[in-house]
Amino acid sequence: KTLPNSHHILSSFQKLPLDGHLSLETTNNNYKNGHASKDFGNIYHYPPLAVLHPKTVSDISMTIKQVFEMDSPKLKVAARGHGHSLQGQAQAHQGLVVNMESLQEMGMVVHSGYVDVSGGELWINVLHETLKHGLAPKSWTDYLHLSVGGTLSNAGISGQAFRHGPQINNILQLQVVTGKGDVVTCSENQNADLFYGVLGGLGQFGIITKARISLEPAPMKVKWIRMLYSEFSIFARDQEHLISLEDTFDYIEGFVIINRTGILNNWRSSFNPKDPILATQFDSDIGKTFYCLEVAKYFNPDQKEAMNESVEQVLSELRYIPSTLFQSEVSYVDFLDRVHVSEMKLREKGLWEVPHPWLNLLIPRTRIHEFAHQVFHKILVDTSNGPILIYPVNQSRWNNKTSLVTPEEDVFYLVALLSSAVPYSRGKDSLEYIMRQHRRIIEFCERTKMGVNQYLPHYTSREEWEEHFGISRWEVMVRRKSQYDPMALLAPGHRIFQNPMLSSTESCD
Ligand X SMILES: Cc1ccn(-c2ncnc3[nH]cnc23)c1
Binding site for ligand FAD (CB under 6 A): 39-40, 78-85, 89-90, 100, 119, 141-143, 146-147, 149-151, 153-158, 202-203, 207-208, 339, 456, 491, 493-494
Q: Is 430 left (phi over 0), alpha (psi -120 to 50) or beta?
A: beta
Q: Which of 39, 59, 82, 84 is catalytic?
A: 84
Please list the residues that pair with 178 across neighbouring strands.
Answer: 206
Distances from the Cα of 462 to the Cαs of 57, 94, 431, 483, 496, in angstroms?
Answer: 32, 21, 25, 19, 6
State the minimum distance, in angstroms, from the CB of residue 86 to ligand X: 11
By C-beta, is 152 or 242 nearer to ligand FAD? Answer: 152
Q: Is 378 left (phi over 0), alpha (psi -120 to 50) or beta?
A: alpha
State the minimum distance, in angstroms, from the CB of residue 198 to ligand FAD: 7
By C-beta, is 58 or 158 nearer to ligand X? Answer: 158
Task: Quote helix, strand, coil % in the chain, to nearest 5.
Answer: 35, 20, 40
Q: Which strand ranges, in their side-by-side order, compose the sheet holding 411-417? A: 326-331, 221-229, 289-299, 251-258, 388-394, 411-417, 359-364, 453-455
Contacted by 90, from ligand X, ligand FAD, none: CB < 5 to 8 Å by type: ligand FAD
- State the Cα–Cα distance between residues 457 and 491, nearest whole angstrom: 14
Contacted by 211, from ligand X, ligand FAD, none: CB < 5 to 8 Å by type: none
State the minimum distance, in angstroms, from the CB of residue 499 to ligand FAD: 18
State the minimum distance, in angstroms, from the CB of residue 72 to ligand FAD: 22
By C-beta, is 25 or 142 nearer to ligand FAD? Answer: 142
Q: What letter would DSSP give residue 474?
A: H
State the minimum distance, in angstroms, from the CB of residue 98 to ligand FAD: 8
Contacted by 155, from ligand FAD, ligand X, none: CB < 5 to 8 Å by type: ligand FAD
By C-beta, is 137 or 486 nearer to ligand X? Answer: 137
Contacted by 342, from ligand FAD, ligand X, none: CB < 5 to 8 Å by type: ligand X
Residue 375: closest CA among 415, 431, 422, 335: 415
Q: Which chain residues interact with ligand X by CB under 6 A?
A: 142-143, 339, 342, 346, 387, 389, 418, 420
Contacted by 208, from ligand X, ligand FAD, none: CB < 5 to 8 Å by type: ligand FAD
- State the Cα–Cα distance between residues 78 and 93, nearest whole angstrom: 9
Contacted by 387, from ligand FAD, ligand X, none: CB < 5 to 8 Å by type: ligand X
Contacted by 252, from ligand FAD, ligand X, none: CB < 5 to 8 Å by type: none
Please give the single-letter amino acid code of residue 2.
Answer: T
By C-beta, is 353 or 506 nearer to ligand X? Answer: 353
Q: Which residue is nearest to ligand FAD (CB)?
A: 149
State the minimum distance, in angstroms, from the CB of residue 346 to ligand X: 6
Q: Which of 59, 121, 238, 253 is catalytic?
A: 253
By C-beta, is 387 or 451 nearer to ligand X? Answer: 387
Q: Which of 121, 142, 250, 294 is catalytic?
A: 142
By C-beta, is 134 or 350 nearer to ligand FAD? Answer: 350
Is residue 337 among the annotated active site residues?
no
Please give the single-letter amino acid code of residue 26.
Answer: T
DSSP string, 321-366: -GGG-EEEEEEHHHHHTHHHHHHHHHHHTT-SSS----EEEEEEGG
State the minimum distance, in angstroms, from the CB of residue 328 to ligand X: 16
Contacted by 481, from ligand X, ligand FAD, none: CB < 5 to 8 Å by type: none
Contacted by 85, from ligand FAD, ligand X, none: CB < 5 to 8 Å by type: ligand FAD
Contact 58, 17 (CB under 8 A): no
Q: 126 phi and psi, to 5 degrees?
A: -65, -40
- State the Cα–Cα distance between residues 434 and 405, nearest whole angstrom: 25
Q: Which residue is nearest to ligand X (CB)?
A: 142
State the minimum distance, in angstroms, from the CB of residue 79 to ligand FAD: 4
Pairing assessment for the beta strands 251-258 and 206-217 based on DSSP bridges: unpaired
Sequence length of the chain is 509
Please give the single-letter amino acid code of residue 20.
Answer: G
State the minimum distance, in angstroms, from the CB of residue 208 to ligand FAD: 4
Three-state DSSP class for residue 373: helix
Is residue 458 among the annotated active site residues?
no
> What is the dihedral sign for C-alpha 35, 41, 47, 52?
negative
Please give the single-letter amino acid code of residue 399.
Answer: N
Burial of 424 (0-12, 13-18, 19+ CB in 10 A): exposed
By C-beta, is 14 or 270 nearer to ligand X? Answer: 270
- State the Cα–Cα distance between residues 263 and 99, nearest whole angstrom: 42
Please list the residues that pair with 329 across neighbouring strands.
Answer: 223
By C-beta, is 295 or 318 nearer to ligand FAD? Answer: 295
Is residue 84 among the annotated active site residues?
yes
Active-site residue numbers?
84, 142, 253
